């Protein structure tokens, strides 16, 4: 398992943790992580602490999550990025769509 | 289901016993008495399974097996050796020459039946696999063929512009038949050029499909005289509509004006591009400030560009992420440091592009991503002279004899460029398509004079130096934003003649006008800003100022060849 989810105690936030490479191979697992929960949380946290690499299909998957979570109203934080991973997110100017911490 | 089984044995009693057993199992039996006969019969009858005695006269069983396997080719014909030998060495040899199994004498009917059934299952499976493989091969060939044809269409759409211009170099490595990267370049009707390098998320067919509307919009709108922000906004909206949510296009677009030396640059989601300044030999990194195309809706899309000045021989290096993300066999990235190392080692700027290409391609093992690089150079305007493009005169009967009036008011003047609209009207006239570029220049000269000196009342003295040029346009922006009243009127009148026709274009603005008597006594080329008027005079048969100087009428006439 490279993708795991944790729900906060009050149930308002969903944390999705990705270990290893975040690319097209994780497509289904990533979707399942947020689609298979009964109620939509108010906030999403993507924890990339253990993510080593991220490609353009991963960026696409983040866009899918954003769409699922309400598009412009979505509250998605991307946390604990390693420098290389953060660089890819910033090159693509994804800080305009996601709160990158 | 009965099979045809070949039995080859030189001993009559053995043949009889085997034939009886095999017949009882419901199979058809053909009999050979030695190896040579077995090979002949195999060719004639094509049995599905062969039972071969090892020791036979003429050709022995081992040689017969070898030949039968060769004849069978890709088809699986199980060969079971019949033998009284029991030593491991001899039994192993039976399998080494291509036999599939052996059966020791005396024969046991139950084991023989089980073996025949087992090998038949294997044979059926083998055939199924082969059929499926053939289907896949056929399918794949069909697909490749389709892609090749589709690529031809794609290339015609994508490469219809001026990619072969002398100041442009591009290199692409196709990962699939289609590339997720696209490079398009077009001449502007006003002179100058626009270049766009796009990198679609993903590659192959889905990416290429997105590239089609991109190329269409790019060429179509630039030909009609739209500005870079307008083209970008339209491409973004189209891609937002047609691409799935998870897909987008990282892109860089540049708009080069060879006369003013000003370059507009917009980067969305691509790694740094570089500007090489000839005078200092330095490379400046140009960083993306926008999201890729196709993500934001029309309301939020930001087409704001960076404005840079480039001297002749200065170059822009544009590249897709495939360059710095090129990987060697150990999955190491080529990276920015290696790229900058190439910059550092270069001592002849003309060969830099080739050096980067070589360095990247020798670094990577198997290309895993699309990789595209473009170099655009600032050149004197005459180097990029307008080639006579061949337009199809398609509308044999178009709008013939008509007049139309437009009035553009402050809200429109503030944030809309009416030139494409007016030009579009004129393009309805048959035969006028050939003069697209001239008419664009005429219209935009007339319009910017009316707007800047008429409505906005700006003095062109600022434009004396290229430094002032930048200030001038900043001032123009700020006056436009505050504009509350005024108008520009266009009156077009078209009259066909025997050999062609003429268009009268009258432009009137709400400004105070100017003393045109004085202007007529001066030579246009004495002044930097006088260029506009001399350009008008060279394209038009007549240029006449009217009233207090806030109205100008030009006549453009042409003949059909």
Q: Are residues B203 and B105 in the same domain?
A: no
Element (H, E) at B234: helix B228-242
Whether B114 has a pLDDT exceeding 90, the answer reads yes
For chain A, which residues score pLDDT lower than 70? 1
Q: Mark B134-157 as b/e (b = at least 16 C-beta within 10 Å).
A: eeeeeeeeeeeeebeebbeebeeb
- What is the nearest CA distance from A89 to chain B, expressed in angstroms? 9
d(CA B15, CA B470): 103
- What is the nearest CA distance from B502 to chain A, expressed in angstroms? 51
pLDDT digits (tens, 9 = 90+) for B250-292: 999 999 999 889 999 999 999 999 999 999 999 999 999 999 9
Arithmetic mean of pLDDT, B216-237: 92
Element (H, E) at B101: strand B101-104
Interface of B with A (CB under 8 A): 201-202, 245-248, 250, 268-271, 288-292, 295, 300, 321
Whether B99 has a pLDDT exceeding 60, the answer reads yes
CA of B201: which chain A residue's CA is closest? A56
The total number of structural domains that make up chain B: 3
Q: Are residues B535 and B415 in the same domain?
A: yes
Mean pLDDT of chain B: 86
Most A CBs within 10 Å, among B247, B295, B304, to test the A interface: B295
Q: How confident is the model at residue B391 (pLDDT cuts 50, 70, 90)?
A: very low
- Class assignment of domain A2-100? alpha beta
Whether B232 has a pLDDT exceeding 80, the answer reads yes
- What is the nearest CA distance from B325 to chain A, expressed in angstroms? 10
Chain B neighbors of A30, CB-CB under 8 A: none
pLDDT at residue B534 in the model:
79
**Is B390 inside a domain boundary?**
no
Contact B295 A63 (CB under 8 A): yes
Q: Are residues B370 and B419 in the same domain?
A: no
* Higher pLDDT pick, B90 / B66: B66
- What is the nearest CA distance from B171 to chain A, expressed in angstroms? 21
Whether B44 has a pLDDT exceeding 60, the answer reads yes
Reading the block at residue B485, the tokens are 């009243």
The enclosing domain of B283 has a CATH number of 3.60.40.10
d(CA B528, CA B366): 54
Backbone CA torsion sign across B377, B378, B379, B381: positive
Q: Are residues B269 and B363 in the same domain?
A: yes
Chain A neighbors of B201, CB-CB under 8 A: 56-57, 59-60
- Least CB–CB distance from A91: residue in B201, B245, B271: B271
Contact B246 A60 (CB under 8 A): yes
Q: Are residues B274 and B374 in the same domain?
A: yes
Whether B397 has a pLDDT exceeding 60, the answer reads no
Most A CBs within 10 Å, among B199, B203, B245, to test the A interface: B245
Q: Are residues B123 and B200 in the same domain?
A: no
- What is the nearest CA distance from A56 to chain B, expressed in angstroms? 6
pLDDT digits (tens, 9 = 90+) for B502-537: 899 999 999 988 877 776 665 544 444 455 777 888
Q: Are residues B424 and B367 in the same domain?
A: no
* Cα dist from A47 to A17, A61, A101, B8, B406, whole Å: 5, 14, 10, 72, 57
d(CA B483, CA A44): 45
The enclosing domain of B41 has a CATH number of 3.40.50.2300
Are the CB atoms for B556 and B505 separated by under 8 Å? yes
Chain A neighbors of B268, CB-CB under 8 A: 93
Arithmetic mean of pLDDT, B226-244: 93
Contact B290 A93 (CB under 8 A): yes
**Is B396 inside a domain boundary?**
no
pLDDT at residue B327 in the model:
82
Q: Are residues B358 and B408 in the same domain?
A: no
d(CA B422, CA B412): 14
Contact A91 B246 (CB under 8 A): no
* Higher pLDDT pick, B391 / B294: B294
* Cis amide leading into B534 (omega within 30): no
Whether B90 has a pLDDT exceeding 90, the answer reads no
Look at residues B271, B426, B242 and name the one whose alpha carbon lies nearest to residue A87: B271
**Is B388 inside a domain boundary?**
no
Chain A neighbors of B301, CB-CB under 8 A: none
Look at residues B367, B481, B503, B484 and name the one whose alpha carbon lies nearest to residue B426: B503
Are the CB atoms for B409 and B487 separated by under 8 Å? yes
Whether B392 has a pLDDT exceeding 70, the answer reads no
Contact B246 A97 (CB under 8 A): no
Q: Which of residues 62-81 of A touch B (CB under 8 A)?
A: 63-64, 67, 72
- The reply to whether A96 touches chain B by the CB within 8 Å rule is yes
Q: Is B277 helix (H, G, I), strand (E, B) or coil?
A: strand
pLDDT at residue B538 in the model:
84
**Is B142 inside a domain boundary?**
no
Arithmetic mean of pLDDT, B178-190: 85
Arithmetic mean of pLDDT, B53-64: 90
Q: How confident is the model at residue B47 (pLDDT cuts 50, 70, 90)?
A: very high
**Is B136 inside a domain boundary?**
no
- What is the nearest CA distance from B202 to chain A, expressed in angstroms? 7
Q: Are residues B259 and B337 in the same domain?
A: yes
Question: What percent of chain B is predicted at pLDDT more than 90?
Answer: 48
Most B CBs within 10 Å, among A92, A95, A96, A98, to test the B interface: A92
Chain B neighbors of A91, CB-CB under 8 A: 269-271, 288, 321
CA of A67: which chain B residue's CA is closest? B245
Q: How confident is the model at residue B466 (pLDDT cuts 50, 70, 90)?
A: low
- The reply to whether A94 touches chain B by the CB within 8 Å rule is yes
> For the whole prediction, is pTM greater than 0.80?
no
Beta partners for residue B543, in sequence order: B554
- The reply to whether A29 touches chain B by the CB within 8 Å rule is no
pLDDT digits (tens, 9 = 90+) for B291-322: 999 999 999 999 999 999 999 999 999 998 88
Q: Are residues B339 and B205 in the same domain?
A: yes
CB contacts < 8 A (A, B): 45
Sheet holding B315-319, edge to edge: B168-173, B371-377, B315-319, B273-277, B282-286
Chain B neighbors of A72, CB-CB under 8 A: 300
The mean-pLDDT minimum among B40-54, B211-225, B392-406, B545-559 falls in B392-406
Q: How confident is the model at residue B177 (pLDDT cuts 50, 70, 90)?
A: low
Contact A93 B291 (CB under 8 A): yes
pLDDT at residue B147 in the model:
81
- Least CB–CB distance from B246: residue in A61, A72, A94: A61
CA of B335: which chain A residue's CA is closest? A84
Domain that holds residue B469: 402-559
- What is the nearest CA distance from A91 to chain B, expressed in angstroms? 5
Q: Are residues B224 and B369 in the same domain?
A: yes
**Is B349 inside a domain boundary?**
yes
- What is the nearest CA distance from A9 to chain B, expressed in angstroms? 31
**Is B193 inside a domain boundary?**
yes
d(CA B25, CA B19): 10
**Is B282 inside a domain boundary?**
yes
CA of A68: which chain B residue's CA is closest? B245
Of B129, B148, B180, the one marking the end of a domain is B129
Largest CA distance in chain B: 128
Q: Are residues B412 and B326 in the same domain?
A: no
DSSP per position, B437-500: HHHHHHHHHHHHIIIIIIIS---GGGGGSHHHHHHHHHHHHHHHHH--S--EEEEEEEEE-SSE
């Amino acid at each position: 398992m490279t993708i795991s989810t944790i729900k906060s105690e009050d149930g308002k936030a969903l944390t999705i943790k990705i270990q290893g490479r975040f690319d097209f191979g994780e497509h289904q697992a990533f979707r399942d992580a947020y689609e298979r929960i009964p109620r939509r949380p108010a906030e999403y946290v993507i924890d990339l602490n253990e993510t080593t690499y991220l490609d353009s299909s991963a960026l696409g998957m983040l866009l899918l999550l954003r769409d699922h979570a309400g598009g412009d109203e979505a509250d998605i934080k991307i946390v604990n990025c390693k420098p290389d991973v953060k660089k890819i997110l910033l090159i693509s100017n994804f800080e305009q769509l996601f709160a990158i911490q | 289901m009965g099979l045809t089984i070949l039995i080859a044995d030189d001993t009559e009693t053995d043949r009889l016993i085997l034939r009886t057993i095999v017949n009882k199992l419901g199979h058809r039996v053909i009999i050979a008495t030695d190896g040579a006969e077995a090979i002949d019969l195999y060719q004639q009858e094509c049995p599905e399974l062969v039972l071969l005695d090892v020791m036979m006269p003429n050709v022995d069983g081992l040689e017969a097996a070898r030949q039968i396997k060769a004849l069978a080719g890709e088809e699986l014909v199980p060969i079971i050796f019949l033998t009284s030998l029991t030593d491991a060495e001899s039994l192993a040899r039976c399998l080494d020459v291509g036999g599939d199994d052996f059966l020791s004498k005396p024969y046991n009917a139950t084991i023989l039946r089980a073996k025949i059934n087992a090998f038949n299952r294997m044979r059926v499976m083998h055939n199924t696999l082969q059929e499926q493989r053939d289907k896949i091969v056929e399918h794949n060939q069909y697909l490749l063929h389709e892609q090749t044809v589709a690529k031809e269409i794609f290339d015609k759409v994508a490469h219809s512009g001026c990619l072969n211009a002398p100041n442009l170099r591009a290199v692409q490595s196709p990962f699939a038949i289609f590339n997720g990267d696209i490079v398009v370049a077009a001449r502007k009707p006003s002179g100058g050029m626009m270049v766009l390098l796009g990198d679609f998320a993903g590659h192959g067919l889905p990416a290429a499909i997105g590239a089609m509307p991109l190329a269409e919009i790019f060429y179509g709108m630039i030909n009609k005289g739209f500005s870079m922000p307008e083209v970008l906004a339209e491409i973004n909206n189209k891609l937002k509509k047609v691409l799935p949510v998870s897909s987008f296009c990282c892109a860089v677009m540049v708009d080069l004006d060879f006369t003013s030396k000003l370059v507009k640059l917009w980067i969305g989601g691509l790694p740094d591009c570089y500007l090489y300044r000839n005078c200092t030999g330095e490379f400046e990194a140009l960083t993306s400030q926008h999201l890729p195309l196709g993500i934001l809706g029309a309301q939020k899309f930001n087409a704001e560009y960076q404005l840079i000045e480039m001297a002749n021989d200065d170059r822009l290096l544009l590249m897709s992420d495939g360059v710095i993300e090129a990987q060697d066999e150990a999955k190491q990235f080529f990276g920015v440091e290696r790229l900058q190392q190439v910059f550092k080692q270069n001592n002849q700027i003309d060969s830099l592009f080739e050096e980067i290409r070589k360095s990247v391609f020798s670094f990577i093992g198997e290309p895993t991503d699309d990789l595209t690089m473009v170099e655009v150079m600032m050149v004197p305007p005459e180097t990029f002279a307008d080639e006579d493009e061949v337009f199809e005169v398609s509308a044999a009967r178009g709008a013939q004899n008509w007049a139309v009036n437009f009035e553009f008011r402050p809200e429109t003047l503030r944030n809309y460029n009416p030139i494409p609209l007016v030009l579009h009207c004129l393009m309805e006239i048959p035969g006028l398509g050939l003069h697209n570029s001239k008419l664009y220049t005429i219209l935009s000269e007339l319009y910017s004079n009316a707007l800047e000196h008429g409505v906005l009342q700006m003095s062109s003295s600022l434009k004396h130096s290229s430094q002032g040029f930048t200030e001038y346009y900043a001032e123009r922006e700020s006056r436009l934003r505050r504009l509350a009243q005024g108008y520009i009127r266009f009156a077009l009148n078209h009259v066909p003649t025997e050999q062609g026709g003429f268009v009268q274009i009258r432009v009137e603005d709400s400004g105070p006008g100017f003393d045109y008597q004085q202007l007529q006594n001066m030579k246009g080329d004495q002044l930097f800003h006088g260029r506009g008027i001399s350009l008008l005079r060279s394209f038009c048969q007549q240029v006449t100022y009217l009233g207090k100087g806030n109205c100008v009428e030009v006549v453009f006439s042409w003949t059909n060849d």
